[in-house]
Structure 1
Amino acid sequence: MNEPTMTGRPTVTVVVPNYNYAKTLGACLDAVLAQTYPPAEIVVVDDGSSDDSVRIAESYPCTVVSTPNRGVSAARNLGVLKSSGDIVFFLDSDIALRPDALQRAVAALESDPGLGFVCGVYDDVPLFDDGPVERYKVLHGHYWRVRAAGPVHAAFFSLGAVRRSVFEAAGPLDETLRATEDVEYGARLAPFSRIELRADIVGRHDDDDRLGILLRKQFTRSVPLVSLFAERGRGRPKLAETAYRPAAVALLCLSAAGFAAAMLPGAPSQALVALGGAGLLGYTVVERRLLNFARRRAGLRLLPVFYGLHALMNLTTGAAAAVGGVRWLLSADFRRLYAGSPKPLTQMPGGPADA
């Protein structure tokens, strides 16, 4: 295993949770091994993959831990338990870091004792280009993270470094959550330290390339956020930090409602069409910087595709918020979704208490 060459500086563990990402795992580990600040250890936690992931991981100088499928939060928790670095750098197996990513993360944490978690951004090109849906998702993912750079309230575990002492103080990730675990953890981390999103820590991401999967994930992840935003007080994430702007979501939903209502028998169609057009125009104005960014980076040919895909994602987010709002009103269990306290690391399966 590579050892740091910077005497006296923090040791870094890279924890890579993986589930059926044989396609990208090699590129991910190659990039980790090419870091200018070499990690002290790499721990790959394979979460019950059925592809060639384990064989690929075992061909690299890293610790490979294989478990039945329990979800990414459980895999990350187990990776922390199986490691010893002063800093834990969490990295999803579909991301390849720039060579200076670890060095920049360590420097940020060393320079600011009050900073406990530092997150990176995705590059504006995909790790493997699989078509226009992925190009849209990668461009948007890069844009909104750079837009939100600075102090944030969500801990982006796909690409981020945390002091081990801070992680242990806040407790492990909530393994009952299969989505939204990053924003829940950010809210829980707030009393212990600050979180910062930095545009100079970069990884190239292999994102979803099928529209159905993209929309389903967006809906699934957005519904429970209603409970988190409603209940987390000062530590909760801010609406301005979300990937999809609330104003854009509201205006596009208003536009869609206006156009849909105009088709109803007996409806005042002209007024409703005007309402729909006004909502669409307002949405376009709100998102003008994003659209200009897409035009500059991807060209005019992709812009209509980008516009349409972004509209679908905003409408999906609006539908999810509506469903989440109804569930919050009707279900006490939904309102308490984030009220539980995860067990400390020493009580997690595989932790010292089970040794």
Structure 2
Amino acid sequence: MSDPLVSVVVPMYNDRPTIDLCLRSVREQTYPRIEVIVVDDASTDGCAEIAAGHPVELVRVRENGGPGASRNEGVRRSRGEIVFFLDADLTMHPEAVAQAVALFEENPTYGAVFGIPDKEPLFEEGPVGQYRILQYHYWRKSAEGLVSGGFYALGAVRRSAFMEAGWFNTALRQTEEIDHAERLAARWPMLLTSRIRGRLSDENRMRPLLRKAFVRSRLRVPFYFDRGRAMQGMETGGRAVASALGGLAVAALPFGPLHPAAFAVSLAALTGSVLADLGQYRFVLRERGLLFGAFFTGAQALVNTAVVAGLAAGLAQYAASARFRRMYEPRGSLA
């Protein structure tokens, strides 16, 4: 293909702190043929007014429908042979779109190419935000290559591949990406690559981060049962062991005052959790040193606990609810 039109679709919901930088990064792309569609998902913080100041097609919906519905609407409004999804809390490097087009030209069989955010955050972050950005970067960087999971916050999809896979399931609010990517990967290879880069502003408070980890883990249970496997790439056996041991380390800790052996169990479990995903901790030590490495280890243990608790809750709900078991089954039009 020769300079195909690329449609950049930006789903937006209450992203006032980042939307201006996000859209500036789109304007600074080196690739010449781009259209931009911003879908405002009933925001209440004035971010739509900021987006309107950029050369974009701004679509404003009346009721919040979630990121899947916003991405669907952006695709409907787009004309490009390639759709580049960019979340409003991200910026992309100037060559990101050009790299996506080049990857499709080099590999005509690819249906999607997803990018990897930098290890540096979009803004200066507190310790929780720094933890999240480093963890997010490392897990994706270590999974670079062919994947079955979708990273639609920063990535491009051939329109033909998207239409074959079908629309995002708007009934799914936290796991619409893994559902869509599984359908897409069944037909087309998908690549996770550091040739497409950006910068991310992510959650910087622990309580919302733990809530998100719990909910997403719970909602993945019927997905795993339906597919019979984890997602290719980031979800490795070592990380499953690390999550289980991290959860055990936190769960055993409160029993220490009752029985000293609980402290030994907690320490042994935490050590095993670190060893099971050792590359991640080496990376953090190289980047930020020992003191932050200790904080990172504790934060990861808490997140692992939330993941394990979410899986346990999901298993209980799976056993009790037929509706929950069928949540990934198509129901008529997904759009």
Partner of 2:297: 307
Residue 139 of structure 2 corresponds to residue 149 of structure 1: no
Q: Deviations over 1:211-261 (max 9, x none)?
A: 111111111111110110111247x62485369911101112233344445
| 1:279 partner letter | A
Partner of 1:285: 275
TM-score by length of 1: 0.89
| 2:271 partner letter | L
Q: 1:255 aligns with which of 241, 249, 256?
A: 249
1:1-355 paired onto structure 2 within 5 Å: 8-68=2-62, 69-233=64-228, 237-238=231-232, 240-241=234-235, 245-261=239-255, 263=257, 269=259, 271-341=261-331, 343=333, 348=335
Please tell me whether the aligned partners of residues 238 and 277 of structure 2 are also in contact (alpha carbons under 8 angstroms): no
**Distance in 2 of aligned mates of 1:75 and 1:112:** 28
**Distance in 1 of aligned mates of 2:237 and 2:5:** 32
Distance 1:299 1:38, change over 3 A: farther
**Distance in 1 of aligned mates of 2:234 and 2:21:** 33
| 1:81 partner letter | R
**Distance in 1 of aligned mates of 2:158 and 2:139:** 25
Distance 1:154 1:243, change over 3 A: farther
CA-based RMSD of the aligned residues comes to 2.0
Alpha-carbon offset, residue 191 of structure 1: 2.6
| 1:308 partner letter | G
**Distance in 1 of aligned mates of 2:313 and 2:268:** 25
Give unpaired runs (5+ residues) of structure 2. none
Distance 1:42 1:243, change over 3 A: farther
Stretches (4+) displaced over 6 A: none
| 1:282 partner letter | G
Secondary structure at 1:301 match in 2: helix
Please tell me whether the aligned partners of residues 141 and 243 of structure 1 are also in contact (alpha carbons under 8 angstroms): no
**Distance in 2 of aligned mates of 1:60 and 1:54:** 10
**Distance in 2 of aligned mates of 1:322 and 1:158:** 28
Instruction: Tell me the matched-pair count.
Output: 334
Give unpaired runs (5+ residues) of structure 1. 1-6, 349-355
Secondary structure at 1:45 match in 2: strand
**Distance in 2 of aligned mates of 1:119 and 1:22:** 25
**Distance in 1 of aligned mates of 2:33 and 2:150:** 21
Alpha-carbon offset, residue 42 of structure 1: 0.3
Q: Deviations over 1:289-348 (max 9, x none)?
A: 21121122123332222121111111111111111111112221111110124626xxx5
Percentage identity across paired residues of the two chains: 41
| 1:317 partner letter | V
Alpha-carbon offset, residue 284 of structure 1: 2.0
| 1:9 partner letter | D
**Distance in 2 of aligned mates of 1:163 and 1:43:** 16
Alpha-carbon offset, residue 40 of structure 1: 2.4
Of 115-124 and 188-197, the range deviating more from structure 2: 188-197
Please tell me whether the aligned partners of residues 215 and 316 of structure 1 are also in contact (alpha carbons under 8 angstroms): yes
